[in-house]
Structure 1
Amino acid sequence: MAEPLLKRHKASNSSSEVSEDEEVQDVLPRASLCPQRLRGIGMKLVNRINDDYLAMLRDVHRNDFYWTAMEKLPVRGQRVLDLGAGTGLLSLMAAKLGASSVLAVEESADMAAVVKTSAEHNRLQHIIDVHAGHSALLSLAEKDKADVIVSETFGVLLLQEGCLKSFIHARENLAKPGASILPAGGAQHARLLASTALRSACSALDPEMLHVNTFRDAGQVRFSLPGGFSVNSLPDACWMSDNISVLEVDFASSRPSDIPSSRHFRVQILEDGIVDAVVTSWEVWADKDRTLLLSTAADSTKGQPWGFARDAHWGQGFQVRSCRGGAAARSARLDWNQASRGTGRCCSSPCRG
């Protein structure tokens, strides 16, 4: 019988306002306000599920992307390695599609317990084995190495959560030579945006508070938590350029040394006006022919029934402009600086298009 989740689990990856030992009923004004289903569960685990996973699970387009891609590989009869398993959805897909075995690796012990419950709930515990710990600390016997690696450990920025390093370790230590990797590759995009609403939200406009603009951060890509901000929520968003691919990775072969620390692009300005921000998004593909795509670009989510879920979980990153003057021009220079930890910095000049 599946072990109930109504059991204390210590979490380590969520909000610092809640202590390690606090359970849901402990942080409410009265314990009687806590639903019975949440009693005994750590508040950090509840925060993490609500912040990171519920919207992702409702993103049916993302789910279809992985299901279709695994069906086409196929995974039937294969040993599958799921990196950063989260709630275990990709592991369940692989098992249901006929994988001979699935190893779900999840760094958080709390989330690993959720994966285990997911497998038991779907009566797939005989196929899905769960490992609590980081994949970089795992080793496998030759006979247990994977034929297929799957993962969706992407942040608002493509490489933000260290997915490339995880893929490298897995393909060199946990998989057979030539193992299939899903997604096969991805690209980080940047695009220039004009929006008076965004400009107002990122600046102090009242005369008595203008001094606060001293702290206005125009030096790095930012995003609201838990996901990015949503361009589609801006009432006056105007794209000032096309999407620019600032980096691409092949998850089967790329290494950190293949990614330039900085790149420079000449961008055509499409509209007259002031560039208020550089907006980032990413795209991954299921195979080298890019026949199946998953994207966080605002254009791809706008008007889609699953678009809100995509924006709520990943959204887009943005970097506000530090300058609004300059002569009119029909092109701008976009500089992208890639940090080793996967974050990015970008700037563009001149400010007027």
Structure 2
Amino acid sequence: MTNRIAQLTALLPKVSDDPRALIAIARQMIAAGDRPRAVALAEQVHAMTGGRGEAGVTAAEILSDGVFSWHFVIPRDRARNDAYEQALLRAIRPGCRVLEIGTGTGLLAMMAARAGATVVTCEADAAIASAARDVIAANGYSDRVTVVSKHSTDLDPTRDMGGLADILVSEIVSNDLLSEGVLGAHEDAVARLLAPDGVVIPPRGTIRVALARDLRDRAPRLGEASGFDLSAFNRLAAPNELVRVGMDQVALCSAPVDLFSFDFATADPRKPERRELDIPSLGGRIDGIVQWIALEMDAVGRYENRPESGTASCWGALLWRFPEPVDTEKRDTVTVGGAHERDRVRLWVSD
């Protein structure tokens, strides 16, 4: 404990009933590098104020910092929830020990506990871990689910888990599949935290792509505005755009193609890859390449957020726009390049 944090801690008994003073100390705790203590103080103030007033709102700001909007979107995806739960039900046996990476709301951990498993779930963010404990307690699973406030790579299988897990479950995949660090986390967990004959859910994930036409009625880039040419500013535009699945925002202009597939059940490090594909067009204008994900939950179950499926998904697709639209005839081929660097994906149209 640093001197500054010790000084702030010494002040707490003197202001224990003053929400504004507690929040002031919490903010200084953050500046001093002790976010877990700041989160605990913010939770105390939130309970005191009910989230009302300046102190309550500031407490909510502290608690929500680093908590992304998708934490509130993902649990509402019934198809995703059902795919995970059915895979858990098929895998869990009496006396089974489950490790979950990335607690979030605690939903998957409670599913596993409801199916009869004893669960350890880890969460690196202190505010999320604390809220998940309350969710789990409110649903009556505190005796079956233990939340450990650590990143999975910091877990000790004996001290934190009581032994190796029989099942590893996670949902640390992103819109592009990789950017939440799923490969590194799984490689470590399979090597250190999972029994040799353990089950991984999901065991495999695939990045799928297709040629696509943007159906949204909007200008994709800057041009003329108030008599000025702003097009030079377009070089600052992100190379990909989020596409909401199930909302008819893009039309597929080719058959889907598997670009990269990843084995999440191996401890062998996956090397960066690069490849090119000749994709036959269905004809018409092509604005870019759309990318989405498919998860094999086990030998039976599968979850895919295909943009044209008509079903909404908690994960979005990504449209990698060409510099200019391309007009094609049916069966014209477009050469598409793709690369991943283990935690990042990049797509482009080849010259």
Do both proteins adopt the same fold according to a TM-score greater than 0.5, normalized to the shorter chain? yes
Report the TM-score when normalising by structure 2: 0.78
Alignment of 1:137-216 (within 5 A): 137-141=154-158, 144-195=163-214, 197=216, 200-206=218-224, 208-216=227-235
Alignment of 1:264-343 (within 5 A): 264-273=276-285, 275-287=286-298, 289=299, 291-300=300-309, 302=310, 304=311, 307=312, 310=313, 313-324=314-325, 330-340=332-342, 342-343=343-344
| 3-state SS, counterpart of residue 243 of structure 2 | coil
**In the aligned structure 2, how far is the partner of 1:53 from the partner of 1:251?**
22
The structure having more radius of gyration, on CA atoms, is 2
2:110 aligned with 1:92, yes or no?
A: yes
Q: Which position in structure 2 is the counterpart of 1:241?
A: 254
Q: Which position in structure 2 is the counterpart of 1:344?
A: 345
2:344 partner letter: T
Question: Contact (CA 8 Å) 2:186, 2:267: kept in 1 or not?
Answer: no
| 3-state SS, counterpart of residue 203 of structure 1 | coil
| 3-state SS, counterpart of residue 323 of structure 2 | coil
User: Structure 1 pair 325/331, CA: closer, same or farther in 2 (3 Å)?
Assistant: closer
Q: Which position in structure 1 is the counterpart of 2:143?
A: 126
| 3-state SS, counterpart of residue 229 of structure 2 | helix
Question: Contact (CA 8 Å) 1:148, 1:175: kept in 2 or not?
Answer: yes
User: Structure 1 pair 323/187, CA: closer, same or farther in 2 (3 Å)?
Assistant: same
| 3-state SS, counterpart of residue 68 of structure 1 | helix
Question: Contact (CA 8 Å) 1:195, 1:234: kept in 2 or not?
Answer: no
Q: Which position in structure 1 is the counterpart of 2:15?
A: none
Alignment of 1:22-171 (within 5 A): 34=52, 41-46=59-64, 51-99=69-117, 101-141=118-158, 144-171=163-190
Question: Contact (CA 8 Å) 2:172, 2:182: kept in 1 or not?
Answer: yes
TM-aligned CA deviation for residue 201 of structure 1: 3.3
TM-aligned CA deviation for residue 254 of structure 1: 6.3
Unaligned runs of 5+ in 2: 1-18, 31-37
Tell which has more relative contact order, 1 or 2 (C-alpha 8 A, sep 6+).
1
User: Structure 1 pair 91/186, CA: closer, same or farther in 2 (3 Å)?
Assistant: same
**In the aligned structure 2, how far is the partner of 1:107 from the partner of 1:280?**
29
**Cα deviation 1:61-101 (Å, max 9, x = unaligned):** 111111111001125421100001111111101111100x2
2:231 aligned with 1:230, yes or no?
A: no
Residue-pair matches, total: 312
**In the aligned structure 1, how far is the partner of 2:238 from the partner of 2:340?**
13
User: Structure 1 pair 23/125, CA: closer, same or farther in 2 (3 Å)?
Assistant: closer
User: Structure 1 pair 119/244, CA: closer, same or farther in 2 (3 Å)?
Assistant: same
1:120 partner letter: A
Tell me which protein shows more strand as a share of its residues.
Answer: 2
2:243 partner letter: F
Q: Which position in structure 1 is the counterpart of 2:34?
A: none
**In the aligned structure 1, how far is the partner of 2:238 from the partner of 2:184?**
25
TM-aligned CA deviation for residue 193 of structure 1: 0.9
Report the TM-score when normalising by structure 1: 0.77
Question: Contact (CA 8 Å) 1:202, 1:216: kept in 2 or not?
Answer: no
Question: Contact (CA 8 Å) 1:219, 1:345: kept in 2 or not?
Answer: no
Percent of residue pairs identical: 22
Question: Contact (CA 8 Å) 1:266, 1:332: kept in 2 or not?
Answer: yes
